[in-house]
Chain A
Amino acid sequence: MGSDFLAYLQMLEFIAFFAGYPLIYTILRYLSAQKNNAAIFFSKIYEFLPSTYAIAGTLYIGLQLKNIYPDYSLENVIRTIQHPAIAIWAVSTVAFALTVIAKKSFLSLLHSLVFFLLFAIEIANGYSNMSTDGSRLHNTMNIYTASLLFYIIAPITIFSISRIVLYTKDLFNH
């Protein structure tokens, strides 16, 4: 039971950090392809999505380091991580911090679909267990909402900071 619960918690971590990415990505991609003034704004935000994805990966690594603290031995890491393959996949998101990979934003979508698939499975599991524990699905959706909010707010924040930096740079140059 303890191990199952730990595995469930770690599944929620994947959902929280990454599952919201595909939906926001596809929506922004759709909006930026429209022919109106707002599309320019959305396309700018869209450009920052892979970086945001990499930041989420960094935050995830930070959380895992905190979870494992203070015993960073390999033995403890193996014992603590319940889904090692997915965890490695999650850690690899930091690769999108590299400009070369970030430019191919489509890769980030493909990468994140794995986590969305986990979310979809979790929905299916939650719904099948609804009669005994409806709060599980409710909890999963709360986590997913947080993930969506993160991928809305974070790129806008990064975009705003970049504009401020550019503006400040221009001021000094003149």
Chain B
Amino acid sequence: MKLLSKTTLMILLSVVSIYGYVASCTHKDVVPPAPADPTPVITRGDAVLLPHTMTVGDSTQWKLDKVHSSVLWSTSYVGAAGLLTGRFNQFGMHDVTDAKMINYYVTGQPLLDSSWAFYEGDPSKTYFNGYVQINTSNTGEQGRDTGCNISTLGTIKIVPGTQNLTVTNIARLKSREVKFDELSNDYIVTIDLTWQGKLGAPITKSIVGRLKYIPKARVQFGTSAAYSVFGLQLTFQLNCRDFGITSTSIADVIDIECNMNFNNK
């Protein structure tokens, strides 16, 4: 009792408390883990992939597998809401000159998809040309695809049996420069996009996009002959206002994704 009646207990309690604080503030030295290597791992091969004349059966010539390729677009609805998306049903990889911008009365590809070359290890030699038929925009909504989309994009409805590559219905891509992306396996591409839109004449805008190479692989199904495939994916953005598109249903910026698959069958 005498112990408690004096300051001894206070000192004892204080010592225990102070010890707790000192112990809790004492840290043992911990060696931090080494920082991660910020250098990206980039591996590139030296594949050279060319279409030549796209002769069927020649495995050295690569053909665009249009059936399994796509050109997709997306933009936010009214520039503020979720995405509006769609695809272009008709497209190709051909350098469509002014002289070739006419109607083709065929159901398949009107021009050979051979205006491209891909050099995995030497992008200065890589090039490509492409086009889409604007009136083949497909959102899955018939009312939009044959209605407001046609008038909004300044073209005319699809005429069955006709591939419309006329000036009001074609948007063309031409690569100007392809170089390595220093941060990934991809390539940075400068492309010229030529489209009339709602303007009086076509204009050309220079755009920077990203090209991804999906490496060549050999496949075989069942007893059929084996063949090889590879893919190229081009992504870029365009400002539709540059081409006179004034619709408020879509945002200024349109995202485009071109997924091109090739085979050597």
Residues of A within 8 A of B (CB): 22-23, 26-27, 29-30, 106, 109, 116, 119-120, 123, 126-127, 130-131, 134, 137-138, 140-141, 144, 148
9 CB < 8 A contacts A-B = A27-B14, A116-B16, A123-B19, A123-B23, A127-B23, A138-B24, A140-B20, A144-B20, A148-B17
Measured CA separation A120–B21 after assembly (Å): 12
CB of B10 closer than 8 Å to a CB of A: yes
Question: Are A137 and B10 in contact, with the CB atoms below 8 A?
Answer: no
Does B4 reach chain A (CB closer than 8 Å)?
Answer: yes
Q: Which of B4, B7, B20 contacts A141 (CB 8 A)?
A: B20
Q: Which of B1-45 contact A (CB under 8 A)?
A: 4, 7, 9-10, 13-14, 16-17, 19-21, 23-28
A123 in contact with B10 (CB, 8 Å): no
How many angstroms from the CA of A123 to the CA of B13 in the assembled complex? Answer: 13
In this complex, how many residues of chain B approach chain A with their Cβ under 8 Å: the count is 17
- Cβ-Cβ contact count across A and B, 8 Å cutoff: 49
Contact A23 B20 (CB under 8 A): no
Q: Which of A116, A130, A141 contacts B21 (CB 8 A)?
A: A141
Q: A110 CA to B89 CA in the complex, in Å?
A: 87
Known: A23-B17, A106-B4, A144-B17. A130 touches B23 (CB 8 A): yes
Q: Which residues of B contact A116 (CB under 8 A)?
A: 13, 16
Would you call the interface of chain A mostly helix, strand, loop, or mixed?
helix
Q: B7 touching A23 by the CB < 8 A rule?
A: no
- Asked if A137 contacts B13 (CB within 8 A), the reply is no
The contact of A140 among B7, B10, B14, B24, by CB within 8 Å, is B24
Q: In the complex, which residues of chain A have a beta carbon less than 8 angstroms from the beta carbon of B25?
A: 138
| Cβ contact within 8 Å between B28 and A30 | no
B17 surroundings in chain A (CB, below 8 A)? 23, 144, 148
* Contact present for B16 and A126 (CB under 8 Å): no
- CB within 8 Å for A120 and B16 given contacts A26-B10, A27-B10, A109-B4: yes
